[in-house]
Amino acid sequence: MDVGGLLSVSLYEGLVFGLLTIGVYLTFRVLAFPDLGVDGSFPLGGAIAAVLIVAGANPFLATLAAFGSGLCAGLITGLLNTKLRISALLSGILMMVALYSVNLRIMGGGNVPLLRDVTSFDLVAQILGVRGGMALSIAFVLLVVAIFVTGLNWFLRTEIGLSLRATGDNEQMVRGLGASTNRNVLLGCAISNGLVALAGALVAQNQGFSDVGMGIGMIVMGLAAVIIGEGVFRPRGITSILLSCLGGTFLYRLFINIALRLGMAPGDLKLITAILVVVVLAIPFIRKKIRGEWMPPAARM
Amino acid sequence: MKTGEAKKPGILQLRGVRKVFARGTIDEVKALDGIDLVVYERDFITIIGSNGAGKSTLLNIVAGVYPPERGGRVVIGGVNVTNLKEYKRAAYVGRVWQQPEAGTARNLSIEENLSLALLRGQPRGLKLAINRQRRQLFREALAVLGLGLEDRLNTPVGTLSGGQRQALALVMATISRPTILLLDEHIATLDPKTAQTVLQLSDMIIEREKMTAIMVTHNMETALNYGNRLVMMHKGRIIVDIGEKDKKTLSVADLVTAFGRAAGEQFNDDSILLSDS
């Protein structure tokens, strides 16, 4: 087995999907807002970037626009929850379903090829005067991830960012201290979906096409990566949490890539991921069951 | 029997405050049934009453968790806050809840919790939430407790004991010097020894920071031993309001008698026949 290839592919994927994992982390863990709209905003980012690039826009700006489209999608999900009092889970699902149609409209079909167009990756290669390849892809996404993660790491330490982090922890307290939890939910959902759409835009450009179905199961992958990151790295403090999201994604992709090379059918990927998440989520329950401890009934809302 | 010292300005005024839950249904409850209360600057009022007397509802009205029924007025520090949402009147009201978990964020560190509390009711911006100057302030505020928390600023709050968390919640409720401090049965879930410690800390901080405070309690001893004024509630009304002079000579037995007499008077007004079960 080509270990170098395996590691570099996993590293690339760990970085680019790591953005998505951080987005999932922001909603699921920080806001305690299980936003399933991720499955829609990932292809939304891909669609926006692809269509703009095909129309001749600067690929960097197209990627940034994809980030912006995710911000808007997340904002709408947050508004459904905070203004119309629709449950977080349902708000995300509604957004995911709606975005499917929106993405088809944006792309004018189910698929937009980018093979003859200059993507961000091609442009970087041109600027540097080198040939594109895995090393360059890794370097470019590393730069993008570094910029966004540094920014997020700073933001989450600011006064606004801290009140956002406390919102999912103790909403009553945050309101009692005079911060609008609704505003924090909107902000968190927007940033989360922005990062997810950014990941979608990068993936679409790297694989050379955008596809309406490319978001299926992304939320489960993000969740799996969050859980793996927490379990393996046991982060404390916001910086280590963000890094553990990246690390968790890398380990998850490594695991998947090994399984694929060992002959797992690509179509089984989602099933394996789902089973992985089920197992990890069930561990605390099973552990308590063995010890004979009491567990509250499962939450349904 | 209202004996507040009328010379000082009223820092909190409740006028004709009513609150009805589940109106129009079979479960309709008059949680507050016409409350008039003036709290003067530096008052430390202990509120006592049986379950369902309306003590917590009263604090929720002051904090703005929900508004009173139409016609009621809530004025804090001269500002009419009757219809101001909870998060918009946070600058006026600091609160410690019954559950230690309620006043603190468990996944954040001690200093992060304090930083959130420091900006109570102020606009939050893109400045870093914690800097050296603030950290020094937190250390000093925590040192007052004498629990050694000032050396554990980076500890996640979730790993603290209930008493430590409640003491932290107390500092968080007072660090930004709100107009009024609400203590909502804040020692009820602690073990007796810890409860005593937190109670003494509360008293000390109120004295030290020269705060105006309202403390709800179930315990008559506590209600008598702390504060300068005692209010007893029953069925959504204030039935006893005793000032400092009378309070000093009062015993638990007197309190029970006062309760029986005041509650009895109310029964006469309300025609006991209808409410008898």
pLDDT at B274: 38
Q: Work out the minimum CA distance from A167 to partner chain B, whole angstroms.
A: 9
Judging contacts by C-beta atoms under 8 Å, the chain A residues touching residue B97 are 172
pLDDT digits (tens, 9 = 90+) for B195-210: 999 999 999 999 999 9
Judging contacts by C-beta atoms under 8 Å, the chain B residues touching residue A159 are 115, 119, 124-129
Minimal Cβ distance to B103: which of A161, A165, A173: A173
Q: How confident is the model at residue A162 (pLDDT cuts 50, 70, 90)?
A: very high
In the sheet with B10-21, reading across from the earlier edge strand, the strands are B29-40, B10-21, B73-76, B79-80
ipTM of the complex: 0.87
- The Cβ of residue A148 has, within 10 Å, a number of other Cβ atoms equal to 20
- For residue A30, list its beta bridge partners: none
pLDDT digits (tens, 9 = 90+) for B154-173: 999 999 999 999 999 999 99
CB contact under 8 A, A179 and B124: yes
- For residue B115, list its beta bridge partners: none
- For residue B184, list its beta bridge partners: B216
Which of A53-62, A163-172, B38-47, B263-272 shows the lowest mean pLDDT across its residues?
B263-272
Q: Inform me whether the pLDDT recorded for B263 exceeds 60.
A: yes
Judging contacts by C-beta atoms under 8 Å, the chain A residues touching residue B128 are 154, 157-159
Q: A119 — contact with chain B (CB < 8 Å)?
A: no
CB contact under 8 A, B115 and A169: no
Contact B134, A158 (CB under 8 A): no
Rounded CA-CA distance A148/A166 in Å is 21
Q: What is the mean pLDDT of residues B112-132?
A: 94
CB contact under 8 A, A176 and B63: yes
Q: A66 — contact with chain B (CB < 8 Å)?
A: no
pLDDT at A6: 94
Minimal Cβ distance to B102: which of A165, A172, A236: A172
Rounded CA-CA distance A73/A99 in Å is 8
Which of A20-34, A145-159, A287-301, B214-228 shows the lowest mean pLDDT across its residues?
A287-301
User: Nearest residue on chain B to A168, judged by CA atoms?
Assistant: B105
pLDDT at B276: 38
pLDDT at A277: 84
Q: Inform me whether the pLDDT recorded for A80 exceeds 70.
A: yes
Q: Work out the minimum CA distance from A158 to partner chain B, whole angstroms.
A: 4
Rounded CA-CA distance A277/A255 in Å is 13
Judging contacts by C-beta atoms under 8 Å, the chain B residues touching residue A169 are 105-108
pLDDT at A212: 96
CB contact under 8 A, A163 and B116: yes
Q: Inform me whether the pLDDT recorded for A14 exceeds 90.
A: yes
CB contact under 8 A, B102 and A155: no
What percentage of residues in chain B have a pLDDT greater than 70?
Answer: 91
pLDDT at A40: 97
Q: Give chain B's mean pLDDT.
A: 88
CB contact under 8 A, B116 and A180: no
Q: Which residues of B touch A (CB under 8 A)?
A: 63, 86-91, 93, 95, 97, 101-109, 112-113, 115-117, 119-122, 124-130, 154, 156, 172
Q: Inform me whether the pLDDT recorded for A249 exceeds 70.
A: yes
pLDDT at B252: 84
Minimal Cβ distance to A159: which of B63, B91, B127: B127
Q: Work out the minimum CA distance from A7 to partner chain B, whole angstroms.
A: 34
Which of A153, A173, A180, A239 to mutate: most B Cβ within 10 Å? A173
pLDDT digits (tens, 9 = 90+) for A119-160: 999 999 999 999 888 999 999 999 999 999 999 999 999 999
CB contact under 8 A, A163 and B107: no
Q: What is the mean pLDDT of residues A176-204?
A: 96
Q: Is A62 left (phi over 0), alpha (psi -120 to 50) or beta?
A: alpha
Q: How many residues does chain A have?
A: 301
pLDDT digits (tens, 9 = 90+) for A83-98: 999 999 999 999 999 9
pLDDT digits (tens, 9 = 90+) for A260-299: 999 888 888 888 888 888 888 888 788 888 888 887 777 7
Which of A273-277, B75-79, B127-131, B233-237 shows the lowest mean pLDDT across its residues?
A273-277
Contact B124, A159 (CB under 8 A): yes
pLDDT at B271: 38
Minimal Cβ distance to A160: which of B90, B102, B125: B125
Strand B212-217 versus strand B44-49 pairing type: parallel
- In terms of Cβ atoms closer than 10 Å to its own Cβ (0-12, 13-18, 19+), residue A108 is exposed
Q: A172 — contact with chain B (CB < 8 Å)?
A: yes
In the sheet with B212-217, reading across from the earlier edge strand, the strands are B93-96, B180-184, B212-217, B44-49, B229-234, B237-242
For the record, the structure tokens of A82 come out as 């905070």
What percentage of residues in chain A have a pLDDT greater than 70?
Answer: 99
Q: Which of A109-113, B83-87, B273-277 has the highest mean pLDDT?
A: A109-113
pLDDT at B249: 83
Minimal Cβ distance to A176: which of B95, B107, B115: B95
